[in-house]
């Protein structure tokens, strides 16, 4: 989560909402890819930290199936990102701060664990939650 927090800080420096993500290999320690929000930087509404990290991990591994991998992200994934995580077949999603307004991993929705879908990653929430939430609060307070 510390690496994801570092990515989130990069997003804030670029004027984007401070969300950072890291994809870990099946061994749980090797970092396959990193990402942070780049919506403002690139003018791309899909440039969320999770989507960018998953794309980069797929490129690094040479396959879209990220079976055995873990995505670590500072903020609970939204519906778009939750869908991407299900489609990429990550085994585990670890997130920091809950997103009661748009979260899709247990808060507002629970897309990643919807029994109607063919893949349901494990979800671990609240890791470094206060630190992750503080980054977001500070960012929006300054705005």
Cα 112 from Cα 131, distance rounded (Å): 24
In the annotation, is 122 catalytic?
no
- Give me 91's structure tokens: 């085994």
106, 107, 36, 38: which is closest to 73 by C-alpha? 36
Please indicate if the annotation marks 36 as binding a ligand.
Answer: no
Catalytic residue among 7, 38, 40, 50: 50
Radius of gyration of the chain (CA): 14
Cα 103 from Cα 74, distance rounded (Å): 12
Please indicate if the annotation marks 48 as binding a ligand.
Answer: yes
Please indicate if the annotation marks 69 as binding a ligand.
Answer: no
- Cα–Cα separations (whole angstroms), residue 129 to 2, 76, 79, 99, 135: 11, 10, 20, 11, 10
Q: Where are the alpha helices (DSSP H) in 1-143?
A: 2-13, 39-42, 49-61, 79-88, 129-142
Known binding-site residues for Zn(2+) equal 48, 78, 81
Residues with catalytic function: 50
Known binding-site residues equal 48, 78, 81
């Amino acid at each position: 989560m510390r690496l994801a927090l570092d990515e989130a800080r990069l997003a804030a420096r670029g004027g984007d909402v401070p969300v950072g993500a890291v994809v870990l290999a099946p061994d749980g320690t090797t970092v396959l890819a990193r990402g942070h929000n780049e919506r403002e930087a690139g003018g791309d509404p899909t440039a969320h930290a999770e989507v960018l990290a998953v794309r980069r991990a797929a490129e690094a591994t040479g396959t879209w199936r990220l079976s055995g991998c873990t995505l670590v992200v500072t903020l609970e994934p939204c519906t778009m990102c939750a869908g991407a995580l299900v489609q990429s077949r990550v085994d585990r999603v670890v997130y920091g701060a809950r997103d009661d307004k748009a979260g899709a991993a247990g808060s507002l929705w629970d897309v990643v664990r919807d029994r109607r879908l063919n893949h349901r990653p494990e979800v671990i929430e609240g890791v470094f939650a206060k630190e992750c939430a503080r980054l977001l609060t500070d960012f929006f307070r300054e705005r």
